[in-house]
A and B are shown apart, each in its own frame.
Chain A
Amino acid sequence: MNKEKLVVIGNGMAPGRMLEYLLEADPHRYEITIFNAEPRVNYNRLMLSPVLSGEKTYEDIITHDDDWYAVHGITLHKACKVTEIDRDKKTVTAETGVTQAYDRLVIATGSSPFIIPLPGNDLDGVLTYRDLDDVHNMLLAARGGGKAVVIGGGLLGLEAAAGLKAQGMDVTVLHLMPTLMERQLDAAAGYLLEKAFEELGVTVITKANSQEILADNGKVAGIKLDDGTELDASIIVMAVGIRPSSELAKLSGLEVNRGVLVSDDMRTSDPDIFALGECVEHRDQCYGLVAPLYEMAKVISDQLLGKASEYTGSVTATKLKVTGIDLYSAGDFAEADDREEIVLRDGAAGIYKRLVLKDNRIIGAVLYGETADGPWFFDLLKKQTDITQMRETLIFGQAYQGASSVDPSLAVAALPDDAEICGCNGICKGQIVTKIAENGLSTLDEVRAHTKASSSCGTCTGLVEQIMALTLGDDYNPAAVQPMCGCTDLGHDEVRRLIKSRKLKSIPAVMQELEWKTSCGCAKCRPALNYYLVSDWPDEYADDYQSRFINERAHANIQKDGTYSVVPRMWGGQTSADELRAIADVVDKFDIPTVKVTGGQRIDMLGIKKEDLPAVWADLGKVGFVSGHAYAKGLRTVKTCVGTDWCRFGTQDSTGLGVRIEKFMWGSWTPAKVKMAVSGCPRNCAEATCKDVGVVCVDSGFEIHFAGAAGLDIKGTEVLGLVKTEDEALEHIVALVQMYREQGHYLERIYKWAKRIGYDEVRRQILDDADKRKQFYDRFVFSQKFAQHDPWSERASGKEKHEFKPLATVAMEPAQ
């Protein structure tokens, strides 16, 4: 009796596994023929990365060698691409002319790398990362050393980058999204990964949008990004994703969407034809990882043997195969309010673990730095095990289950006196206990001052606090420091200190290293962290607009009805006929309902629709108006009186000084708003003595004031001191504001900050210490290089366009 004919198109890992299942169950049922477009036997594609990095050879990763096919009586056509399926005659025909009849056909054509439609993508030196040929090409290119650019910061791209680096190339990864592997990782783990790659010596550029591949004599010479950056490269690897190879199925008239459509029995729209692997689309999903493909392979094997078997979709887990980087992610880790999360961060050890729970079951897991428990969590996830009983210790992993729960303070109590608590300063438990008793210390700051413990990196703060609690008993009140928000136990001072000392330069970096309890913060801490980072790293930090309150994001003030108000800058409160005419025209043109003179000597236009803002700004910009930052935690106004220009009592050019200060300081961000004034004589018409910073001019010079308030609180200013010249006045004022910028808590006005640290301390650092003053001044000047850009003109010429336009306007009822 003739055997049934089984033909397989494709010889990747999925059909390889399917044949193993099939042959194990019934080795003789089918006469099997395989067509492989690649010129070789079946190999383990997952192991391409170790081949690229040199840790394995091609021979090491072969799954089925030539013998295997011979032993099982399988005909394997190598380098033989099938170009036609005749479903009526039930035959397939290959490029080489071979025609083969089938009773059952399995299409396993896999996927192909997505080629980005960039100019120059067909140049010699543009590679993909998909099969052994690609690896050979990369190894060949790497032999000469030189520079490589990998486009794509996903699993494949990163593995390619690490491999090329291991081969001695100078590698840059370009990634379109803000964090690496954003489909598998949350921002915190993405940050750690980026850090790890930079430690490997791979440069990572996120939010990188490639524009053009540069050529030299028909070969790749580099790449240009849309921000104008140009990078040299002798090879460019595109690893931005894969698309199912479904052309053959489509040509044959099978139903195809993104991939070849199959139902739960893995059959295509033709019941004699199955589809398997990465070319498949099942229940709207296409898979690129091996586990689901193996599950499909099992179902097809069963079906081929006439057994009932169904594939119902897979939950997938991902592990990055780069030596030295441990990363594991599985399931769904999106946030939603019916979900809870457990986060464990160990900043010093670079560990981040996050479990997402729903109804007491794990639905997602991200592990970084320590992934040994990945499979255990994945197992709990797949089995939907109720974890209520082990919830308290779940995140610590399997080894901690079953043991009685441990009270951390008992562990500290049990430590011997010579146990080192603070590694940075070499302080042991006994020293801390002794100092507390000797000096009657009761606060963490006092303990830090006397022992230095936890005063450097701060990671031992928890231990020090437990020692204090054990030593002081009820006298210790750890709640003395107000945490920034519910996402952390650290106060603002602590966070600001650690941002500087540990050189944290992004919001995910802060949240990871300082062990934030939530994955992406809240509306309280995000704007604060964004300010601290802008203030501390003006040249390096990329401002995160989505962490700014709407007024600072839209550069206008939101009103109760959702419209905005616009206040252009009028330097020192002076204006002109041209400016007033421009305002009048804008008011008419945009039908602005209310125009109001503000308390800060300028003009406010209220009730402007958000969509109109860029056009309003463009018109105002034509006469030279820039943003007044009336919406900003930043420099607002410098009020002036007319001074010696006009006033019969004026002692100095108060208007001139006010304009000079404002032109020098506009655009700077501060912890809370900063309002200033310059009065030309002690009659003080500009009301300088209730401002954040004020100047009262006198015959002998300039009296500088600070820390006034005239809002929620009313408070007259403190006098900083008297200086003789305008230049000195400016230097003192700038230094004072910079000191506040570096030390203030977010939303803390100058009067509260100065009271907290002491008015004398401000005078000591700004008035008495000329070196300190100069340093503050220089740091302010440096940061202004990056701050003094008019946000209005930038947006009028198209920046952040999406902010001001609706996504869509749907006018009609949708068709039914």
Chain B
Amino acid sequence: MNALTQSWIEIGTLSDIPVRGARCVHYNELTIAVFRTVDDQVFALEDKCPHRNGPLSQGIIHDGCVTCPLHNWIISLETGEATGADKGRTTVYPVRLEGDRLLLSVDPVKSSKDG
């Protein structure tokens, strides 16, 4: 087995998050939104839209994306990138399911563009 390079924190269970919904995790000053899609995938993004810092956790979740509640930017849950004509990226955090347990890491996923 690979050596564990990520520190995983247990933050709750899958059933704590409504389907097509999100809940927040507070970590010091940082707020991370954890999303659950219609097919029970989970994603974690910093709870800030790259446009004007809108709380993405409050948006409508559809097609692997979340629509920001403030100005309707559509952000990819997987990459954190704005879709369509909008440009910007919010930080993505690793999150995974182990059985029903939700595990989050607070070490951000690097963007492919960060090299």
Contacts and interface: CB of A to CB of B under 8 A. Distances in A.
Interface stretch (A316-324, A454-462, A801-809): A801-809
Contacts of A275: none
Contact of B19 (A178, A549, A806): A178
Contacts of B88: none
A522 B66 CA distance: 9
B25 A336 contact: no
Given A337-B79, A337-B83, A814 B9 contact: yes
A337 B58 contact: no
Looking at A550, A558, A811, the one whose CB has the most chain B CB atoms below 10 A away is A550
Contact of A811 (B28, B34, B40, B67): B28
Given A518-B63, A527-B60, A807 B41 contact: no
Contacts of A809: 25-27
Nearest to B59: A550
B108 interface: no
A335 B21 CA distance: 15
Contact of A810 (B25, B52, B64): B25
Given A806-B25, A810-B106, A337 B16 contact: no
Interface in A543-578: 545-551, 553-554, 558, 560-562
B110 interface: no
A546 B72 CA distance: 16
Given A546-B19, A809-B25, A520 B63 contact: yes
B38 A814 contact: no
Interface in B40-60: 40-41, 47, 52-55, 58-60
Range of interface residues on B (Cβ < 8 Å): 35 or more
B24 A806 contact: yes
A337 B60 contact: no
Interface string A783-816: 0000000000000000000100111111100111
Contacts of B70: 558, 560
A810 B9 contact: yes
B25 A560 contact: no
A496 B91 CA distance: 40
Nearest to B79: A337
A521 interface: yes
B99 interface: yes
A513 interface: no
A560 B69 CA distance: 10
Contact of A807 (B11, B60, B64): B11
A334 B52 contact: no
A686 B99 CA distance: 60
Contacts of A339: 64
A370 to B, nearest CB: 22
A802 B18 contact: yes
A522 B28 CA distance: 33
A526 B20 CA distance: 12
A547 B21 CA distance: 10
B110 to A, nearest CB: 17
A194 interface: no
Interface residues of A, number: 46
Interface in B75-115: 76-79, 83, 99, 102, 104-106
Contacts of B72: 523
B27 A523 contact: no
A814 B69 contact: no
A523 B60 contact: yes
A38 to B, nearest CB: 28
A346 interface: no
B67 A802 contact: no
B25 A522 contact: no
Contact of A814 (B7, B62, B67): B7
Contacts of A523: 59-60, 62, 67, 72, 74
Contacts of A527: 60
A333 interface: yes
A546 B60 contact: yes
Contacts of B63: 335, 337, 518-520, 522
Contacts of A295: none
Interface of A is mostly: loop
Contacts of A547: 20, 60
B58 A554 contact: yes
A227 interface: no
Contacts of B8: 814
A588 interface: no
Contacts of A518: 62-63
A521 B62 contact: yes
Name the residue in A183, A186, A560 with the highest tally of chain B Cβ atoms < 10 Å from its Cβ.
A560
Contacts of A526: 60, 62
A811 to B, nearest CB: 7
Contact of B17 (A333, A550, A802): A802
B38 A335 contact: yes
A16 B75 CA distance: 51
Interface string B23-40: 111111000001001111
Given A518-B63, A550-B59, A186 B38 contact: yes
Nearest to B71: A560
B39 A807 contact: no
Given A337-B78, A527-B60, A562-B58, A546 B26 contact: no
Given A336-B41, A337-B65, 18 more contacts: A178-B19, A258-B99, A337-B83, A521-B62, A523-B60, A546-B61, A549-B60, A549-B69, A558-B58, A805-B23, A806-B25, A807-B16, A809-B25, A810-B9, A810-B11, A810-B25, A814-B9, A816-B7
The 9 closest A-B pairs by CB, nearest first: A807-B23, A523-B67, A814-B7, A546-B20, A335-B64, A562-B55, A808-B11, A550-B58, A523-B60
22 contacts: A178-B19, A182-B40, A335-B39, A335-B41, A339-B64, A518-B63, A520-B38, A520-B63, A522-B62, A526-B60, A549-B69, A560-B54, A562-B47, A802-B18, A807-B24, A807-B34, A807-B102, A810-B11, A810-B27, A814-B7, A814-B8, A814-B105
